[in-house]
Amino acid sequence: MGVTKRKRGRKPQSPTPSEPPPSSDDVFSPSPSSSAPSRSLPNGAAAAIGGNEGGELCGRALPAMDAVVKVFCVHTEPNFSLPWQRKRQYSSSSSGFLIGGRRVLTNAHSVEHYTQVKVKKRGSDTKYLATVLSIGTECDIAMLTVDDDEFWESVPPVEFGELPALQDAVTVVGYPIGGDTISVTSGVVSRIEILSYVHGSTELLGLQIDAAINSGNSGGPAFSDKGSCVGIAFQSLKHEDAENIGYVIPTPVIQHFIQDYERNEAYTGFPILGFEWQKMENPDLRKAMGMKPDQKGVRIRRVDPTAPESAVLKSSDIVLSFDGIDIANDGTVPFRHGERIGFSYLVSQKYTGDSSAIKVLRNSEILNFNVNLTAHKRLIPAHNKGIPPSYYIIAGFVFTTVSVPYLRSEYGKDYEYEAPVKLLDKLLHSMPQSPDEQLVVVSQVLVSDINIGYEDIVNTQVFALNGKPVKNLRILAEMVENCDDEFMKFDLEYEQIVVLRTSIAKAATPDILATHCIPSAMSADLKRTDTSQI
């Protein structure tokens, strides 16, 4: 959790020329048989780098090009607005490359909500069925494998290199715009910093290169002039005042993803520190907080109550160092010669479950703590990670939980400006008070005689049922199913209430479901007794 807050309100007509906003190319390449133009995906997916169609000519031939494959995926996305359905399936193509251990790397958004994945080698006319081993949502990397031994014949895997320096040459290879022949683009590293990963809704180390980003080449490797892989192309900057700016996932992030999978046989994510902080650049602020002239650090604004750090850290603590590395007043730490980077980089180098040393200043006293790092859960999650949306229906009232995909489904890609202020405030600022807390809303009311007068209730949070708080959707479903009171009274946002006669509401539900062709009054996860999915 960082300190930067995006402004909300009326959507700006044009971005400020001096500060073009980072954005994702947001497009897949459609299947070759499709006549439709490239379209923007609702999951914030990014495209990757491509360009000069021409095979092996880009200064010199790269032997590792033979390890670059084309990835074909059929996607079937959940319908978050109608959670008992799925959307019409569609196809996309992207790129990937072979690594050791009979594995293939590509972008997570290239195979998100996959139904079937196939891969094709360079110069081959055969598509091989692939198995998805792991999807790293935050880092936008996915790992595949192919069971057919023929696929792995005569193709050496890509070797990874070190993090490049500024102005180092990079060559990006892949299959842009859905092309069937390999494409090569050259550029140089123009910046190394903490980037916003559009698909993952997180901030990790990234490379900026001066090469154009085109659709269809997601997951293409970036090679150094020595022929080693230094990253995966994954998103671009689209702005009228900026050209040829692409972004690459660097090797430290890639290696973290691979080692995380090898350690746990699953993707566990990148840990974060469970608190928000502010800079301490103002001298009066530092003096008021009891800091000595030679002390530097950042002030904790508030701590996530569900994070392990909440047991030892408090609001207004000054974080002086992380794992022995001093933090500056602007929240940066030394990176490489002549460079500094946000201290969240140090945290992202760790693995979930690791212990880290944190030195803080509290009431002019220096304290040292060891905290276990974990990937914290947000009140409104950025992703559903492949799990179908949950829902519960009673008397035509459709209850569900709010997530970023849900907001995008309801309000479009500009949900950050179009969604209700109450929901946006919770998205940006609210922290869960318990690990199983969810934001439950009435998403819509399926009109029936029993719910006359309630038809206009849309996307309104539910606080309580008959005076008992609604902490998550499972609890709400259980309370309704077990309710034997004469009336059910729902307390909603904006001081609204909904009152239904219990017996009539339960009796009317099957007819309402039949009218709207809904197979069940609740999603499959609510039917299970296992509460670990909450």
Question: Which of the residues are catalytic?
Answer: 109, 140, 218
Closest C-alpha to 27, from 15, 37, 14: 37
Q: What's the CA gap between 190 and 169, in Å, rounded?
A: 10
3-state class (DSSP) for residue 210? coil
Residues 6+ apart with CB under 8 A from 235: 23, 24, 25, 46, 47, 48, 140, 197, 198, 199, 213, 246, 247
Q: Is residue 344 a contact partner of residue 338, using CB atoms and an 8 Å limit?
A: no
- 403 phi and psi, to 5 degrees? -140, 170
How crowded is the C-beta side of 289, counted as CA atoms within 13 Å?
A: 29
Q: What is residue 170's DSSP assignment?
A: E
Q: What's the CA gap between 498 and 441, in Å, rounded?
A: 13
Q: What's the CA gap between 446 and 435, in Å, rounded?
A: 31
Closest C-alpha to 235, from 109, 73, 132, 112: 109
Bridge partner residues of 326 (DSSP)? 321
Q: What's the CA gap between 387 and 409, in Å, rounded?
A: 16
